[in-house]
Amino acid sequence: MWNSFQESLINCKGLKINIIFNNYIETLKIISKDLKLLNLVQSCLSPYRFLNNLHQINENKYNIKLFNHRCGSCWKCCVEYIFLTDN
């Protein structure tokens, strides 16, 4: 899936984005050893210019603490929050 996306992202010669891990299970194994690594990940699907505002609004509205770079509104941030609080 990533290879298809990478080709459509920017059609430039020589553009190559390297993915270190082959699948999400390998990624989760690394992150589970140190959850502080999640703060370094930009995983939100919301437009970046709205991210900080949505983050603050949702923390206040739902009385929760979100990881950095998460809005708490998009499906990815919501699923991630549920997964992390359950595990």
How many CB atoms lie under 10 A from the CB of residue 69?
A: 17
Percent of the chain with pLDDT over 90: 11
Of 52, 28, 26, 50, whose CA–CA distance to 38 is shortest?
28
CA separation (Å) from 25 to 16, 21, 29, 62?
23, 9, 6, 30
Side chain identity at residue 83, one-letter code: F
Measured distance CA(40)–CA(19) in Å, rounded: 16
Q: What does the domain layout of the chain look like in residue ranges?
A: 2-86
- pLDDT tens-digit map of 51-67: 889 999 999 999 988 88
pTM given for the model = 0.54
